[in-house]
Structure 1
């Protein structure tokens, strides 16, 4: 069934796809090109296509990447050798960045790039304007079932990179969708979180995996209840060499090697190995090429997800690299030192605390004066032993790696002032975030691109939807709750304009009765992650919702497809949250009634979106957010476990439908005490799904009704997420 899409001036069309069966031919071999040397290595080793990114708006901002002029040379070089070039534009985009994103897309078209990889919905209205380019959904778009890839097809994408945690049968189901190609990872690093569903790095310091700045917290040491430190979430590396022929038989169109952060020698080995396998060599014949790929990181290899095995997929990096591979991991500047190897920009920091607040100014040639100023509350320290001198900020900055920068001077008006440790950490994190953001600013070459009027019309900021009139700081009016907790709440529920219900039973004997009994202000939330085996159940649920006039909250493209097929009214939940107004326009055009602001957005980003969103917005202001979803089974995931890393981040695991483990923060995000007249939304939402204790749940809801901060257990503190820092 074709999606019912509203007819508008900017209607989406699936003009880049064709309704014809897949031809199960030899798959395309796609290689990473983190920089020019890796590009040359990939082409010479036999890649059919390469993927690469510019210095901004790509999911590997730590790679060498390419300037716009270098991109032209890369496309020309690849074209001469019969190799395609795919450009990554696969991050979430803020309002300020929509113009840059559109200009990069326009430049890609002019340059002759074959395809762009995208995640943000803002690109959907632009597909029809650039018919010479194929649009591919990145793995960050969380394409994890046949419904999701069907949605991608109807939205006009020609290919989708499948989630990395799929089994053979699940990949087969996606490949069986005609008219769109499937791309599968075959070699490289694996994330502990399912694809596109991780907030852990952002929660811990404002560096978002959804924006290309992940700090890999899953590779860190974690303790259970304060004991037994281990790298519990450090995944083995992916190696699909034994299954290459099978993937071709399934109908996979493209085999993708992960590794834009890896050296050219590694890329050459990886591409050579898989080229030989595709051309008919045996595993034994290419083993000499495959073994060093794992030695490079020192991690074991796995194809467990494909095999349906989800245990024993994590562990310490154990193998010792060979001398050759060790040399390959050392930057060339260290092997052949030059005078230019310390080509870093100096920055300075001024810290003032005399006013009773922490007022900071970051000074650098790359940092605009407005962007370099920030302030935050100064926490009182009653006992000196619980704090550190303000001058500790300088020491910590010297020890913090900020690519492209080095600290010059750090001045204080009160250097001996004892500050809370979290204040010191916050200043360092905010300073680093400002510098990292400035280092990846778009070049004047990109900013000077003149966009066609039809593109400018789509990305233009317009007046916000008039329903966005509730200021941050007013009483919350939306409550998210687990279905099983509804009987506890009684009349308390009617104090809220909207009730979002998670985990409604989907068994045939319970489903109809459960949906029939819901009040009209209820919304049924589909989960952000579900796989092929859950499609029949959620299809029945959305049909029942449509029958009884209950709206459906969609949190994935698969959920969106099911809701639209059933004819249910739908809104976008936290799993499909947005950062920019053009994404809001895209949702509006495909029949989504409202959307959540991304929970990881910072204050300026939220203010900008509220000023120009054409869609009613919901803002998450309290709850224990889900920081990660994982399919990997672990012994540490007992119900009473609290995992804590060296930075003090605490998470609690819990099981969800479909065998997933949800890792929620053990400390709540709270903006209930924050007032901001520049932030106006349609609804302020509270999430109680992470509250397991019934008494605590009722106390929390009563406090919300009376506009009070919910009570907290001793030792638990509130977290404002990225509100007062910069989302990198």
Structure 2
């Protein structure tokens, strides 16, 4: 059977390890994606060094397989040069494309590198056609769309698209929209936007009398929908899984290869066979997410999810070893199997690949770190069986390294120094490298409840009205009461079907003299072309480095809100090249740590969510969130406010003079507002507040 042209319908597989790359090739992938060392969204995947990249790329290209390198994280200003050096080095290795989230890196690549193909990461949260159009204009050849789109939405976005489109067809789902999740960052400073998500959504949470895996969704599977995706000319089907085993990659790629290659009349039979292969992936149960409509069973809080098949239980444990007793009738454990031990009471799991063990009758003993986290009777699961050709794969990995060494004898494979010509993009952009003296501080008050408008008149400040689908029809009333100097702020997610609603209201407001707008998604730029408005990048249209600020400035966005999760050192570094007078930092508010399209009010309600007590008082006190329904989404709002009033002088000394208080998600309360004003004036933080990453730093 002839294979479809991979230029027209590509199967893209994860290669988080050397074994997984070989497995992807054997399974029938057209292309693979590999994380760049130090700058990718799966930093906890097995480390791939620059030398490994060289070897793996040489091997894949020798098999006719394309290699895309993921640099899909936000990059701090001090890290930019290291990222640029890495891009230059990987380009020399022959990477076929780079997957990018950071707009600053995109700015540098598009203007200072020739012939580098850029793919927009799903971390850029592209969920409507305007986002595709803007990124295509910026030089991106391909856009990886948000996972939470329906088939009707995909059809609209795909029709006449100026860029290739890629969709996820299989793998893990985040409960939050990608690129808009601060959950892990808020809890422990490990940012999902930096590739270090600790997956708090997979933990046990408590809500009223409920307790379970309340935020852990099933895995996505679109095997049944391949023909529909082919019809609307989706360019690439992407399998998620750089954290997955070679066994998982091989089976998943093989199944989707079978479906893509099947002739129309043979598809039902191919689907039955593919389902059989996919059912043995030891992963979570499956869902089509929102592709075919809402799945009311996408969350199953009573199930631990993704633990695999239960094969036995812990017999005994010590500090450095654990003994497992298998259930009767279970096939024995062999080298190459993957096991997971669970401690349900402590919400602890440990996964490992079997290498060495001792066997006594039906009892297997393994050496693992901190084995005393587990007790007699704790369940044990098999998450993957060893591939029958595992040893053959290992031999092939060894052979690829030997082959590369022979072909490149005497050559040094490393990242070389790179010209800093790219710094011209920012060297004279704002203030010729000179810090401006800060002026008098301006206080900005952001709110989404129109009732707050009655309380804002007693203090000299600037108003920011945060628009939602629920309150946008009241925006005219806000202008009548507070004036057309009020800033209107757009929400980070405006679905394809809602773009016309927002466009109509925006036109009315602009015609009424509203010229000040805050944007929170790359797609929002499309609303304001040739409108003559003053535009600001919101907290979710990230400018973590001066080059991202330059990218936005080139598109008439000339001021920047500091992200909720950013830290003082990076803010300090930004105020060198970027005019600090153009920055606004919110010193108080309850940040939305997650924004979900699959978490519904009917499922999650509005009661406070509390992390299961792990014996850590700090996490018990701070890790609580309340769900809020907004714009057909569910947001998780931090119960404890972030407050940086005590750092205002420190920020002022950097040249920053625009400071905000965010009243969103707070019921109107004049007494509270007076307390906040008093604390702001005295530079004293509010009792019971937290500082997010400001002092400790975002990882």
Class of the TM-score when normalised by the shorter of the 2 chains: 0.7 to 0.9
Q: Is the 8 A contact 1:310 1:631 kept in 2?
A: no
CA deviation after TM superposition for structure 1 residue 637, in Å = 3.2
User: Partner of 1:564 in structure 2?
Assistant: 529
> CA-to-partner distance for each residue in 1:256-302, whole Å, 9 max, x for gaps?
00000001111011111000000015355454554564654542100
Q: Is the 8 A contact 2:485 2:514 kept in 1?
A: no
Instruction: State how far apart, in whole Å, the 1-side matches of 2:332 and 2:509 are.
Output: 60
Q: Residue 452 and residue 663 in structure 1: after superposition, are their counterparts in 2 closer, same or farther (change >3 A)?
A: same
| 1:169-248 equivalence runs, <5 A | 169-225=152-208, 227-248=209-230
CA deviation after TM superposition for structure 1 residue 549, in Å = 4.0
User: Partner of 1:455 in structure 2?
Assistant: 422
Q: Residue 135 and residue 508 in structure 1: after superposition, are their counterparts in 2 closer, same or farther (change >3 A)?
A: closer
Instruction: State how far apart, in whole Å, the 2-side matches of 1:469 and 1:95 are.
Output: 22
User: Partner of 2:597 in structure 1?
Assistant: 631
Superposition TM-score, scaled by structure 1 size: 0.75
> CA-to-partner distance for each residue in 1:157-184, whole Å, 9 max, x for gaps?
1111000100111111221243211110
Instruction: State how far apart, in whole Å, the 2-side matches of 1:619 and 1:325 are.
Output: 55
Is the deviation greater in 509-518 or in 644-653?
509-518
The alignment status of 1:334 with 2:354, answered yes or no, reads yes
| 1:477-626 equivalence runs, <5 A | 477-492=443-458, 494-496=459-461, 498-503=462-467, 514-515=478-479, 518-547=482-511, 548-564=513-529, 566-614=531-579, 616-626=582-592
Q: Is the 8 A contact 1:671 1:720 kept in 2?
A: yes
Q: Is the 8 A contact 1:103 1:447 kept in 2?
A: no
Q: Is the 8 A contact 2:435 2:575 kept in 1?
A: no
Q: Is the 8 A contact 1:145 1:174 kept in 2?
A: yes
Q: Residue 242 and residue 524 in structure 1: after superposition, are their counterparts in 2 closer, same or farther (change >3 A)?
A: same
Any gaps of 5 or more consecutive residues in structure 1? 1-22, 345-394, 400-444
Q: Residue 515 and residue 251 in structure 1: after superposition, are their counterparts in 2 closer, same or farther (change >3 A)?
A: farther
| 1:307-346 equivalence runs, <5 A | 307-315=292-300, 316-317=303-304, 320-321=308-309, 328-330=337-339, 334-336=354-356
User: Partner of 2:646 in structure 1?
Assistant: 673
Q: Residue 569 and residue 466 in structure 1: after superposition, are their counterparts in 2 closer, same or farther (change >3 A)?
A: farther
- Would you say how many aligned residue pairs link Structure 1 and Structure 2? 599
Q: Residue 509 and residue 191 in structure 1: after superposition, are their counterparts in 2 closer, same or farther (change >3 A)?
A: closer
Q: Residue 591 and residue 487 in structure 1: after superposition, are their counterparts in 2 closer, same or farther (change >3 A)?
A: closer
Is the deviation greater in 446-455 or in 125-134?
446-455
Is the deviation greater in 478-487 or in 318-327?
318-327
Instruction: State how far apart, in whole Å, the 1-side matches of 2:172 and 2:509 are.
Output: 40
* Alignment partner of 2:85 out of 92, 103, 112: 103
CA deviation after TM superposition for structure 1 residue 447, in Å = 8.7
Q: Residue 521 and residue 242 in structure 1: after superposition, are their counterparts in 2 closer, same or farther (change >3 A)?
A: same
The alignment status of 1:167 with 2:157, answered yes or no, reads no
Instruction: State how far apart, in whole Å, the 1-side matches of 2:609 and 2:81 are.
Output: 43
Q: Is the 8 A contact 1:479 1:685 kept in 2?
A: yes
Instruction: State how far apart, in whole Å, the 1-side matches of 2:332 and 2:671 are.
Output: 58
CA deviation after TM superposition for structure 1 residue 565, in Å = 5.6
| 1:681-720 equivalence runs, <5 A | 681-695=656-670, 697-700=672-675, 702-703=677-678, 706-707=681-682, 717-720=688-691
Q: Is the 8 A contact 2:337 2:353 kept in 1?
A: no
Instruction: State how far apart, in whole Å, the 2-side matches of 1:565 and 1:637 are.
Output: 42
CA deviation after TM superposition for structure 1 residue 614, in Å = 4.6
CA deviation after TM superposition for structure 1 residue 631, in Å = 1.1
Q: Residue 504 and residue 178 in structure 1: after superposition, are their counterparts in 2 closer, same or farther (change >3 A)?
A: closer
- SS of equivalent to 1:92: coil
- SS of equivalent to 2:70: strand
> CA-to-partner distance for each residue in 1:340-392, whole Å, 9 max, x for gaps?
x9999xxxxxxxxxxxxxxxxxxxxxxxxxxxxxxxxxxxxxxxxxxxxxxxx
Instruction: State how far apart, in whole Å, the 2-side matches of 1:510 and 1:690 are.
Output: 17
Q: Residue 711 and residue 178 in structure 1: after superposition, are their counterparts in 2 closer, same or farther (change >3 A)?
A: closer
The alignment status of 1:142 with 2:125, answered yes or no, reads yes
The alignment status of 1:306 with 2:291, answered yes or no, reads yes
User: Partner of 1:661 in structure 2?
Assistant: 634
CA deviation after TM superposition for structure 1 residue 638, in Å = 2.7
Instruction: State how far apart, in whole Å, the 2-side matches of 1:640 and 1:336 are.
Output: 47
CA deviation after TM superposition for structure 1 residue 62, in Å = 0.8
Q: Residue 149 and residue 529 in structure 1: after superposition, are their counterparts in 2 closer, same or farther (change >3 A)?
A: same
Q: Is the 8 A contact 1:464 1:614 kept in 2?
A: no
| 1:41-56 equivalence runs, <5 A | 41-56=23-38
Q: Residue 514 and residue 618 in structure 1: after superposition, are their counterparts in 2 closer, same or farther (change >3 A)?
A: closer
User: Partner of 1:132 in structure 2?
Assistant: 115
Instruction: State how far apart, in whole Å, the 2-side matches of 1:545 and 1:706 are.
Output: 33
CA deviation after TM superposition for structure 1 residue 43, in Å = 1.3
Instruction: State how far apart, in whole Å, the 2-side matches of 1:333 and 1:187 are.
Output: 23
- SS of equivalent to 2:457: helix
Instruction: State how far apart, in whole Å, the 2-side matches of 1:264 and 1:324 are.
Output: 20
Q: Is the 8 A contact 2:121 2:144 kept in 1?
A: yes
The alignment status of 1:253 with 2:241, answered yes or no, reads no
> CA-to-partner distance for each residue in 1:43-91, whole Å, 9 max, x for gaps?
1211111100122010011111421122122222111111111000100
User: Partner of 1:92 in structure 2?
Assistant: 74
Q: Residue 466 and residue 662 in structure 1: after superposition, are their counterparts in 2 closer, same or farther (change >3 A)?
A: farther
Q: Is the 8 A contact 2:190 2:698 kept in 1?
A: yes
Q: Is the 8 A contact 2:338 2:354 kept in 1?
A: no
Superposition TM-score, scaled by structure 2 size: 0.78
- SS of equivalent to 1:75: helix
Supply the RMSD in Å over aligned alpha carbons: 3.4
Instruction: State how far apart, in whole Å, the 2-side matches of 1:325 and 1:694 are.
Output: 62
User: Partner of 1:726 in structure 2?
Assistant: 697
Q: Is the 8 A contact 1:505 1:514 kept in 2?
A: no
CA deviation after TM superposition for structure 1 residue 131, in Å = 3.2
Q: Residue 541 and residue 271 in structure 1: after superposition, are their counterparts in 2 closer, same or farther (change >3 A)?
A: same
* Alignment partner of 2:40 out of 58, 67, 83: 58
Q: Residue 460 and residue 85 in structure 1: after superposition, are their counterparts in 2 closer, same or farther (change >3 A)?
A: farther
Q: Residue 76 and residue 705 in structure 1: after superposition, are their counterparts in 2 closer, same or farther (change >3 A)?
A: closer
